[in-house]
Amino acid sequence: MSVKPEIDDSWYKVLKPEFEAPYFSELKLFLKEEMSHYTVFPPAKLIFNAFNKTPLPAIKVVILGQDPYHGDGQAHGLAFSVPDGVKPPPSLMNIYKELASDLGIKPPESGNLEKWAAEGVLLLNTSLTVRSGTAASHAGKGWEKFTDAAIKAVSEYRAGVVFMLWGNHAISKERLIDTSKHLVLKTVHPSPLSASRGFLGCRHFSKANQYFQRNGLLPVNWQLNS
């Protein structure tokens, strides 16, 4: 009998077919091989951190990233987030800049977004692992099939979720979302290479909360400072 992965039960119920699919067995073999030769981020116990921090019934917002950070100590299983004590990377600094402009929230010193995860914000990378120092090294190995299934599950089992799709890679996932029952917000990636072309000034945080209020739902508390 296979061992149940360390993932929240609400997610396991809907993603069980993925864990049992042939592609996932191949992905596990690939990861085992990678881990025997290289350092892989995030640490194994944090690979499903986004799912464990934000159970399926709690989801209000989905923010999609692409790859985990590949620098030492940066990745902890939440898209765009870094642990306390790690300098916030440039894309996250632009997210903070937009948050300040949009909602007047002072940028925190920490880059840890766990408070958002607890508010129902699923911070999902489409690839859940990466080799140290090598961007996109685990792309095309099976993670995308798995995370596509997760995005579809949110679309199917939840209603009134706001999907924030930043950059072409995230925008390509709109096909997985039922736009008749969810709000999709799209703009360029918050990376310094593109943020000034539409991310800064997109007002996605206030637009999300306006949507929740129109639909009689509690807004997200985007405040990260204690």
Q: Which residues contact 27 (CB under 8 A, 6 or more apart)?
A: 141, 142, 143, 146
105 DSSP β-pair partners: none
Q: State the angle between helix axes of 143-157 and 9-19 in degrees (0 to 180), rounded to the nearest 10.
A: 130
Are 57 and 124 in contact by the 8 Å Cβ rule? The answer is no
Residue linked to tokens 């592609």: 23
Report how far residue 66's alpha carbon sits from residue 144's, in angstroms, rounded to the nearest whole number.
Answer: 9
Q: Which amino acid, one-letter code, is at 103?
A: L
Rounded to 5 degrees, φ, ψ at 62 are -120, 125
CB 126 within 8 A of CB 140: no
The alpha carbon of residue 37 and the mean position of all alpha carbons in its chain are separated, in whole angstroms, by: 27
Residue 144 in tokens = 């995308």
Catalytic hit among 67, 72, 84, 178:
67
Letter for the amino acid at 54?
A: T
CA distance linking residue 88 with residue 94, whole number of Å:
10
Give the start-end residues of each E strand in 14-114. 40-41, 61-65
Side chain identity at residue 154, one-letter code: V
Catalytic, 67? Answer yes
**Annotated active-site positions, please?**
67
